[in-house]
């Protein structure tokens, strides 16, 4: 799924309606992922994140600069968010599939910068430029590829004028990725589990191999069985899952996780037989995707524990505690952590 | 084609389609072992589970959905005296679609989603009928169709609204897949839930099949031949709608079948509904079984049925248009 | 004929749509084996009258009985047993085989769940044979000529076996030969005892076919009675608003010239 492009499109469309004069402003030139040189305010104080991935990154880097959420956090997310930020208003449903953002709401919140974090391509380069030309608000797009995550954190940190904070988070990301690489070096291809990512309450919606939604499963060495004709989300049949016979099932659907053991059409799938169906934690942000942002770093560690229980001996609860403290600025108590990881 | 030869021929075709579908699937079961597995003489519990819990319910569902949509299409075409009408004409698919996507938005269990789709599909057509009966020129076919278009458009707007409100990461893909039609998630309880409604709707159509012919003449003509045309048409619409709503709530929105299959069948049987209906039911079942087999075997991922039926249906439709007045007059 | 229950009888009948009469003061009686011709300019309400007789429109005033029974108390089936309809043309979009269309006349005798069997097929074939169109049985009605379709529709009325038939301009838009064929078929129908009411724009046809005639115009009935009495030069001149002269041909037939 794509995030930033559609957001740019929406902002462009809406800003075109109001036809604001392009404002000149002082700032530091910054060349963003689209190759555009953008004049960024020296110390952005009111930043609008164009999509959920950008919102998550912005929250972890500079929560004080947030002026609102594109989608308000759910009640269950609140204990895992900084209280002052959790209460920010929902400004508009600026998401990946063409929803609406009320530009008057956005502009009345007086942003001095719009940041986006996601796919970079010609269309979106142009759209970002259009939005900025028409609104006068600088628009920076940072590459959302997982492979360049540490660099993207640093880039975003530079734009937001929080380089030290960005260094700290990027270093964590680098260490995590190095840890995973070291782990994988010990595990031959054949010993890595075959994995199926189940979505939807029937578990028959999946993310294809190579899709952004399943990216980190493959990064931890999981062999995604869903090698499909698409690189996005798809429906598959229960029989197909039976034929794939995945050793591990990762799901983001609580209902499916609760029922899979009793669903007749899932019986005999090795992951179900061996009790290796895992519900990915999702508060305040998903471990696997939803949104595909820095939140996936803890997802890597969680997956490593689930994939290689014999090899990974570090304490998962401690790792989660550290991550939440460092990235989200909250210290969940033992009960909250147990509930989070308990499924 | 001789009337007597057609039905056995279609029956053989359906049986062959069912056999092919039962022998085809992602889970490797050699066709030779299928009979043994079904008879319980094969010890492979996994193969038996796949066949009984996944493949066979789905093949049966495909046959049911195909027969239901095609039979309803034939009935609608006859009572609306228009060979280019599909079962969606009174808004049943849009209505069922709205209910189902609303169910997805509310995070309901699958069976509840199906029930909601079924209920709103019926309610939509009920509303259309009530409206058309209360308007001037009440009960006329044209008024009915126009009401169907209006209410269908409202349901379509409802679907768009639900899409707008849906969580783009989890609910929206599910909604999109549902609206494209698929039997990928079919289970035995789904078939058991839809079967009574489909049978209840089809039985009166089958029993009244000759009398329904007369509705194709127009109300006045049918009445002067001694038929209570208005009442009979309402009954036929109710039955065809019940059948369609049950099929759509189980399989999602699948277009073209209800338009195309009766049309093709009519080429062989002529317009007599009493001959058309059995041929349509058999042909529709066989067609949908084959299309669904394709949907689950031409790619690793599920190809939505709505896409396949449109790809097959649109050229056939154009071909029919080009042949023009062969089975109907302008 | 005294004492025979009329197949169709109307007294003080007014017909129209939505409570507004287009034709009123209609008194008519149709007896078995008789042909009643209805003449009147376009818009005189002939079709409206027919629809009322068939129970498709409620009468606005007056009484109307079919076979002695008030129409208002009759079911569709009972009406169809008493009165069949031969429409002006075919309105079906489907390519019925002629025999299938004729067999639909059987609906009046069949239960809701029944299909026509051999007896009904034989009856339909007989009706077609009686009209000399047995060879059209397998033909698609959408491909027939106007005259052939009219014959098929008359055959259906025959197969329906109603005591009386109303025909809406049965010979309109037919060529000369077909007009004669259809005229003969109508006479044949009456000779078997069926009562016929037909509308026509042709006074010659009315004079040749009809036993009685009814002239409708200006919202009411100008005259009704035996054709020779009703169809006078003066009345037709008044009815159509154009000078009409009546002549008697050497064979006794009436002929009208404009």
Q: Is there a single domain that holds both residue A272 and residue A145?
A: no
Taking alpha carbons only, the member of A259, A146, A150 closest to residue A211 is: A146
Asked, for residue C2, whether it belongs to a domain, the answer is: no
What is the reported pLDDT for A22?
39
Note whether A291 and A69 are within 8 A (CB): no
CATH code of the domain covering residue A316: 3.40.50.1980
What is the reported pLDDT for B262?
93
- Rounded Cα gap, residues B247 and C69, in angstroms: 48
- Rounded Cα gap, residues A140 and A159, in angstroms: 8
CA distance A244 to chain B (A): 8
Tens of pLDDT, residue by residue over B51-77, are: 989 999 999 999 999 999 999 999 999
- Rounded Cα gap, residues A131 and A110, in angstroms: 15
Residue B209 has pLDDT above 90, yes or no: yes
Find the domain containing C198 and state its range.
8-257
Confidence of residue B31 (pLDDT cuts 50, 70, 90): confident
CA distance B243 to chain C (A): 20
* Contact present, B and A (at least 3 Cβ pairs less than 8 Å): yes
Quick count: other Cβ atoms within 10 Å of Cβ A322? 14
Provide the token pair at A105.
Answer: 């709401």
| Structure-token match 């995590």, residue found | A176
What is the reported pLDDT for A102?
59
Helix H, strand E, coil C: the string for chain C is: CCCCCCCEEEEEEEEEECCEEEEEEEEEEECCCCEEEEECCCCCCHHHHHHHHCCCCCCCEEEEEECCEEHHHCCHHHHHHHEEEECCCCCCCECCEHHHHHHHHHHHCCCCCCCCCHHHHHHHHHHHHHCCCHHHCCCEHHHCCHHHHHHHHHHHHHHHCCCEEEECCCCCCCCHHHHHHHHHHHHHHHHCCCEEEEEECCHHHHHHHCCEEEEEECCEEEEEEEHHHHCCHHHHHHHHCCCCEEEECCCCCEEEEC
Confidence of residue B1 (pLDDT cuts 50, 70, 90): very low
Give percent of chain B with pLDDT exceeding 70.
96
Per the CB < 8 Å rule, is A237 touching B170? no
Residue C27 has pLDDT above 70, yes or no: yes
Asked, for residue C129, whether it belongs to a domain, the answer is: yes
Asked, for residue C42, whether it belongs to a domain, the answer is: yes
Those residues with Cβ within 8 angstroms of residue B117's Cβ, 6 or more apart along the chain or in another chain: B96, B97, B99, B100, B103, B245, B248, B249
Average pLDDT over residues A76-104: 71
Tens of pLDDT, residue by residue over A149-163, are: 999 999 999 999 999
Which of B77, B224, B230, B233 to mutate to probe the C interface, most C CBs <10 Å? B224
Residue A119 has pLDDT above 90, yes or no: no
- Rounded Cα gap, residues B232 and B225, in angstroms: 13
Confidence of residue A276 (pLDDT cuts 50, 70, 90): very high
Average pLDDT over residues A78-93: 84
CA distance B262 to chain C (A): 13
* Contact present, B and C (at least 3 Cβ pairs less than 8 Å): yes
Task: Give the CATH architecture of domain B3-296+305-323.
Answer: Orthogonal Bundle (1.10)
Tens of pLDDT, residue by residue over A310-321, are: 999 899 999 999
Q: Which residue has the higher pLDDT, A343 or B296?
A: B296
Asked, for residue A179, whether it belongs to a domain, the answer is: no
Q: Which residue has the higher pLDDT, B235 or B29?
A: B235
Average pLDDT over residues B120-128: 95
ipTM value greater than 0.95 = no
Per the CB < 8 Å rule, is A226 touching B173? no
Q: Is there a single domain that holds both residue A119 and residue A236?
A: no
Average pLDDT over residues A326-331: 94
Mean pLDDT, chain B, rounded, equals 89
* pTM of the complete model: 0.87
Domain final residue pick, A173, A196, A230: A173
B175 phi-psi bin (left φ>0, alpha ψ -120 to 50, beta other): alpha
Tens of pLDDT, residue by residue over B213-230, are: 999 998 899 999 999 998
Q: How far is CA B2 from the centre of its chain?
A: 27
Those residues with Cβ within 8 angstroms of residue A80's Cβ, 6 or more apart along the chain or in another chain: A283, A284, A324, A328, A330, A332, A336, A340
* Contact present, A and C (at least 3 Cβ pairs less than 8 Å): no
What is the reported pLDDT for A128?
75
Domain final residue pick, A173, A200, A229: A173
What is the reported pLDDT for B141?
81
Asked, for residue C120, whether it belongs to a domain, the answer is: yes
Asked, for residue C166, whether it belongs to a domain, the answer is: yes
Chain C residues with CB-CB distance to B139 below 8 A: none
Tens of pLDDT, residue by residue over C180-239, are: 888 999 998 999 999 999 999 889 999 999 999 999 988 899 999 999 899 999 999 988
Mean pLDDT, chain C, rounded, equals 92
Asked, for residue A15, whether it belongs to a domain, the answer is: yes
CA distance C189 to chain B (A): 18
Find the domain containing A306 and state its range.
187-342
**B145-162 CB burial, b ≥16 within 10 A, e <16:** bebbeebbeebbebbeeb
| Structure-token match 């003061």, residue found | C25
Cα dihedral: A288, A289, A290, A292 (round 10): 140
Domain ranges of chain B: 3-296+305-323
**A125-147 CB burial, b ≥16 within 10 A, e <16:** bebbbbbbebbebbbbbbbbebe
- Rounded Cα gap, residues B6 and B276, in angstroms: 11
Note whether B124 and B95 are within 8 A (CB): yes
- Nearest neighbour of B224 by CB, restricted to C54, C93, C110: C54
Confidence of residue A96 (pLDDT cuts 50, 70, 90): very low
What is A21-33 written as a DSSP string? PPPP---EEEE-T
Chain A residues with CB-CB distance to B27 below 8 A: 239-240, 242-243
Those residues with Cβ within 8 angstroms of residue C87's Cβ, 6 or more apart along the chain or in another chain: B220, B221, C153, C168
- Rounded Cα gap, residues A25 and A23, in angstroms: 6
CATH code of the domain covering residue C198: 3.40.50.300
Which of B110, B161, B170, B252 to mutate to probe the A interface, most A CBs <10 Å? B170
Chain C residues with CB-CB distance to B212 below 8 A: none
Helix H, strand E, coil C: the string for chain B is: CCHHHHHHHHHHHHHHHHHHHHHCCCCCCCHHHHHHHHCCCCCCHHHHHHHHHHHHHHHHHHHHHHHHHHHHHHHHHHHCCCCCCCHHHHCHHHHHHHHHHHHHHCCCCHHHHHHHHHHHHHHHHHHHHHHHHHCCCCCCHHHHHHHHHHHHHHHHHHHHHHHHHCCCCCHHHHHHHHHHCCCCCCCHHHHHHHHHHHHHHHHHHHHCHHHHHHHHHCHHHHHHCCCCHHHHHHHHHHHHHHHHHHHHHHHCCCCCHHHHHHHHHHHHHCCCHHHHHHHHHHHHHHHHHHHHHHHHHCCCCCCCHHHHHHHHHHHHHHHHHHHCCCCECC
Confidence of residue A302 (pLDDT cuts 50, 70, 90): very high
What is the reported pLDDT for B138?
64
Chain B residues with CB-CB distance to C94 below 8 A: 81, 83, 216, 266, 271, 327-329
Note whether C60 and C52 are within 8 A (CB): no
First-to-last C-alpha distance (Å) of chain A: 25
Mean pLDDT, chain A, rounded, equals 85
Asked, for residue A192, whether it belongs to a domain, the answer is: yes
What is the reported pLDDT for A23?
41
- Rounded Cα gap, residues B117 and B67, in angstroms: 19
Tens of pLDDT, residue by residue over C153-163, are: 999 999 999 99
Helix (H, G, I), strand (E, B) or coil at A206: strand
Which of B3, B74, B225, B267 to mutate to probe the C interface, most C CBs <10 Å? B225
Q: Is there a single domain that holds both residue A36 and residue A151?
A: yes
Q: Pick the range with the lowest mean pLDDT from A263-277, B33-47, B154-168, C61-75.
A: B33-47
- Rounded Cα gap, residues A193 and A312, in angstroms: 14
Asked, for residue A256, whether it belongs to a domain, the answer is: yes
Those residues with Cβ within 8 angstroms of residue A131's Cβ, 6 or more apart along the chain or in another chain: A8, A11, A12, A15, A114, A137, A139
Q: Is there a single domain that holds both residue A228 and residue A154?
A: no
What Rg, from alpha-carbon coordinates, does chain C have?
18
Per the CB < 8 Å rule, is A236 touching B27? no
Q: Is there a single domain that holds both residue A31 and residue A166?
A: yes
Q: Is there a single domain that holds both residue A126 and residue A272?
A: no
What is the reported pLDDT for A36?
84
Tens of pLDDT, residue by residue over B228-269, are: 998 999 999 999 999 999 999 999 999 899 999 998 899 889
Beta-strand ranges (E) seen in chain A are 28-31, 37-40, 47-49, 113-118, 139-143, 194-198, 205-207, 223-224, 233-235, 248-251, 277-279
Quick count: other Cβ atoms within 10 Å of Cβ B83? 20
Taking alpha carbons only, the member of A89, A96, A95, A57 closest to residue A73 is: A89
What is the reported pLDDT for A242?
94
Which of A235, A254, A264, A285 to mutate to probe the B interface, most B CBs <10 Å? A235
First-to-last C-alpha distance (Å) of chain C: 36
Average pLDDT over residues B140-163: 91
Q: Is there a single domain that holds both residue A209 and residue A265?
A: yes
Note whether C103 and C120 are within 8 A (CB): yes
What is the reported pLDDT for A95?
37
- Rounded Cα gap, residues C194 and C35, in angstroms: 9
How many contacts, defined by CB atoms under 8 Å, are there between A and B? 110
- Rounded Cα gap, residues B256 and B291, in angstroms: 12
- Residue B267 to residues B87, B194, C39, C137, Cα–Cα distance (Å): 19, 30, 43, 18
What is the reported pLDDT for B328?
52
Confidence of residue B139 (pLDDT cuts 50, 70, 90): low
Note whether A205 and A256 are within 8 A (CB): no
CA distance C142 to chain B (A): 6
- Rounded Cα gap, residues A143 and A53, in angstroms: 11
Average pLDDT over residues C134-163: 93
Note whether A190 and B260 are within 8 A (CB): no
- What does DSSP assign to residue A120? -
Average pLDDT over residues B77-106: 91
Residue C116 has pLDDT above 80, yes or no: yes
Considering its fold, how many domains does chain A have in total?
2
| Structure-token match 């009530």, residue found | B130
- Rounded Cα gap, residues B69 and A338, in angstroms: 50
How many contacts, defined by CB atoms under 8 Å, are there between B and C? 94
Q: Is there a single domain that holds both residue A142 and residue A232?
A: no
Confidence of residue B324 (pLDDT cuts 50, 70, 90): low
- What does DSSP assign to residue A73? P
Residue A285 has pLDDT above 70, yes or no: yes
Taking alpha carbons only, the member of A38, A43, A49 closest to residue A7 is: A49
């Amino acid at each position: 799924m794509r995030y930033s492009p559609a957001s740019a499109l929406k902002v462009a469309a809406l800003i075109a309606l109001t036809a604001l004069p392009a404002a000149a402003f002082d700032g530091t030139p910054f060349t963003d992922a689209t190759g555009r040189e953008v004049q960024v305010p020296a110390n952005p104080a009111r930043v609008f994140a164009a999509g959920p991935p950008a919102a998550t990154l912005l929250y972890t880097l500079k929560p004080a600069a947030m002026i609102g959420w594109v989608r308000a956090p759910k009640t269950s997310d609140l204990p895992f968010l900084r209280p002052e930020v959790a209460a920010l208003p929902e400004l508009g449903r600026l998401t990946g599939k063409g929803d609406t953002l009320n530009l008057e709401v956005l502009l009345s919140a007086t942003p001095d910068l719009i940041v986006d974090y996601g796919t970079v391509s010609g269309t979106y380069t142009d759209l970002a430029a259009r939005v900025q030309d028409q609104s006068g608000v600088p628009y920076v797009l940072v590459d959302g590829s997982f492979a360049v995550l540490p660099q993207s954190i640093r880039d975003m940190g530079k734009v937001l004028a929080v380089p030290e904070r960005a260094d700290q988070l990027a270093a964590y990301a680098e260490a995590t990725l190095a840890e995973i690489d070291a782990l994988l070096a010990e595990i031959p291809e054949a010993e890595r589990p075959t994995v199926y990512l189940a979505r939807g309450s029937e578990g028959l919606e999946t993310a294809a191999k190579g899709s952004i939604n399943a990216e980190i499963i493959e990064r931890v060495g999981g062999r995604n069985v869903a090698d499909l004709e698409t690189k996005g989300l798809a429906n598959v049949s229960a029989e197909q899952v039976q034929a794939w016979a995945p050793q591990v099932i990762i799901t983001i659907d609580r209902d499916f996780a609760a029922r899979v053991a009793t669903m007749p059409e899932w019986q005999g799938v090795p992951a179900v037989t061996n009790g290796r169906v895992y519900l990915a934690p999702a508060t305040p942000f998903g471990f696997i995707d939803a949104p595909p942002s820095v939140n996936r770093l803890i997802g890597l560690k969680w997956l490593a524990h689930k994939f290689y229980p014999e090899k990974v001996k570090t304490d998962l609860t401690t790792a989660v505690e550290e991550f939440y403290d460092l990235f989200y600025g909250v210290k969940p108590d033992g009960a909250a952590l147990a509930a989070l990881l308990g499924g | 084609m001789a009337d007597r030869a057609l039905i056995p021929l279609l029956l053989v075709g359906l049986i062959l389609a069912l056999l092919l579908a039962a022998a085809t699937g992602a889970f490797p079961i050699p066709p030779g072992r299928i009979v043994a597995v079904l008879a319980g003489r094969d010890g492979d519990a996994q193969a038996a589970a796949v066949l009984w819990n996944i493949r066979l319910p789905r093949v049966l569902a495909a046959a049911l959905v195909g027969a239901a949509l095609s039979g309803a299409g034939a009935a609608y075409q006859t009572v609306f005296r228009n060979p280019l009408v599909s079962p969606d004409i009174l808004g049943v698919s849009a209505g069922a679609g709205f209910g189902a996507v609303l169910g997805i938005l509310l995070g309901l269990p699958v069976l509840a989603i199906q029930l909601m789709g079924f209920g709103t599909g019926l309610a939509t057509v009920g509303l259309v009928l009530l409206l058309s009966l209360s308007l001037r020129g009440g009960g006329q076919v044209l008024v009915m169709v126009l009401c169907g278009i209006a209410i269908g458009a409202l349901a379509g707007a409802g679907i768009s609204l639900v899409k707008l409100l849906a969580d783009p990461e989890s609910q929206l893909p599910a909604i999109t897949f549902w609206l494209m039609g698929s039997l990928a998630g079919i289970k035995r309880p789904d078939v058991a839930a839809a079967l009574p409604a489909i049978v209840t709707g089809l039985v009166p159509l089958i029993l009244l099949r000759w009398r329904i012919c007369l509705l194709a003449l127009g109300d006045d003509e049918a009445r002067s031949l001694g038929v209570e045309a208005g009442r009979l048409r309402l009954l036929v619409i109710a039955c065809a709608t019940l059948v369609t709503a049950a099929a759509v709530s189980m399989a999602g929105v699948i277009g073209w079948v209800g338009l195309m299959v009766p049309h093709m069948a009519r080429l062989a049987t002529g317009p007599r509904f009493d001959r058309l209906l059995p041929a349509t039911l058999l042909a529709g079942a066989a067609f949908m079984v084959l299309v669904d087999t394709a949907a689950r075997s031409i790619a690793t991922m599920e190809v939505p049925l709505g896409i396949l039926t449109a790809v097959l249906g649109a050229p056939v439709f154009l071909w029919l248009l080009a042949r023009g007045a062969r089975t109907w007059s302008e | 004929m005294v004492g025979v229950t009329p197949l169709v009888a109307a007294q003080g009948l007014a017909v129209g749509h939505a409570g507004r009469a287009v034709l009123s003061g209609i008194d008519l009686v149709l007896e078995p084996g008789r042909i009643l011709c209805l003449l009147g300019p376009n818009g005189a309400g002939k079709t409206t009258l027919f629809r009322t007789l068939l129970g498709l429109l409620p009468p606005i005033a007056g009484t109307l009985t079919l076979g002695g029974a008030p129409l208002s108390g009759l079911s569709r089936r009972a009406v169809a047993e008493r009165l069949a309809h031969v429409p002006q043309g075919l309105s079906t979009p489907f390519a019925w085989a002629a025999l299938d269309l004729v067999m639909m006349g059987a609906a009046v005798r069949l239960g809701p769940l029944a299909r026509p069997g051999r007896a009904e097929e034989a009856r339909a074939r007989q009706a077609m044979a009686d009209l000399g169109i047995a060879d059209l049985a397998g033909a698609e009605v959408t491909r027939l000529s106007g005259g052939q379709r009219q014959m098929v529709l008359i055959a259906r009325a025959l197969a329906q076996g109603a005591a009386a038939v109303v025909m809406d301009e049965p010979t309109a838009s037919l060529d000369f030969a077909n007009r004669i064929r259809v005229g003969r078929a109508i006479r044949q129908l009456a000779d078997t005892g069926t009562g016929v009411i037909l509308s026509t724009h042709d006074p010659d046809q009315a004079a040749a076919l009809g036993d009685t005639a009814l002239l409708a115009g200006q919202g009411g009935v100008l005259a009704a009675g035996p054709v020779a009495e009703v169809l006078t030069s003066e009345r037709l001149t008044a009815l159509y608003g154009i000078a009409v002269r009546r002549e008697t041909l050497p064979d006794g037939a009436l002929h009208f010239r404009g």
